[in-house]
């Protein structure tokens, strides 16, 4: 990133190649495909725009996924307002196509995992995807999301429990209790 800030155009290409799939999956697991594409563009264009103001204080990943988190949050807000305003919307355009309940016999475990991730509450899903894609520590994830480490741990714990229960049908003591909604 520092090289890109200094005018190395190829540095951006290298950055993009290194992180684009991670940011894409991070957005894709939380939004429909078209919205995820918008988000992906927003994330990287914001990085381009803010290049001159970038200060290498911490890890680049924290910076990048903070942009990503904010972009997804903005997209969710926009879609909420849009849903309230538009009455003739085709349902398929706004419903997350990943969240349909899979047929356990005919879908792979990975597909069931993806489907289950889509059905998680927003904050838990965000924590899980950050953990899966960003490579950040819990404290860094807390910083990205504007939360604290204990809250992130809690979200992850409940989320992973639920995911495992959905995918493998394994019930754990925690999964039987009420899961706090951290939206």
The single residue among 13, 95, 101, 104 that binds other proteins, judged by CB under 8 A, is: 13
| Residues ≥6 apart with Cβ < 8 Å to 86 | none
The structure tokens listed for 3 are 């090289």
* Smallest distance, other proteins to C-beta of residue 103, A: 17
1 is a contact residue toward other proteins (CB under 8 A): no
| Sign of the alpha-carbon torsion through 143, 146, 147, 153 | negative
The single residue among 130, 161, 166, 182 that binds other proteins, judged by CB under 8 A, is: 161
- State the Cα–Cα distance between residues 42 and 83, nearest whole angstrom: 21
The structure tokens listed for 29 are 């697991």
28 is a contact residue toward other proteins (CB under 8 A): yes
- State the Cα–Cα distance between residues 72 and 9, nearest whole angstrom: 26
Q: Which residues bind other proteins (CB under 8 A)?
A: 4, 7, 9, 12-13, 16, 20-21, 23-25, 28, 33-34, 37-38, 40-42, 44-45, 48-49, 51, 82, 86, 88-90, 93, 108-111, 113-114, 128, 132, 153, 156-157, 160-161, 163-164, 167, 172, 174
């Amino acid at each position: 990133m520092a090289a890109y800030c200094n005018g190395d155009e190829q540095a951006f290409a290298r950055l993009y190649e290194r992180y684009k799939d991670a940011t894409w999956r991070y957005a894709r697991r939380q939004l429909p495909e078209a919205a995820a594409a918008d988000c992906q563009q927003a994330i990287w264009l914001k990085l381009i725009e803010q290049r001159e103001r970038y200060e290498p204080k911490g890890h680049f990943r924290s910076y990048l996924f903070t942009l990503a988190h904010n972009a997804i949050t903005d997209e969710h807000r926009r879609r909420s307002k849009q849903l309230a305003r538009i009455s003739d919307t085709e349902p398929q355009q706004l419903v997350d196509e990943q969240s349909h309940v899979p047929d356990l016999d005919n879908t792979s475990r990975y597909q069931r995992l993806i489907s289950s991730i889509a059905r998680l509450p927003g904050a838990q899903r965000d924590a899980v995807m950050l953990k899966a894609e960003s490579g950040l520590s819990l404290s860094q994830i807390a910083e990205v999301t504007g939360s604290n480490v204990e809250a992130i741990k809690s979200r992850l714990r409940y989320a992973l429990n639920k995911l495992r229960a959905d995918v493998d049908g394994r019930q754990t003591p925690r999964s039987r209790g009420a899961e706090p909604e951290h939206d």
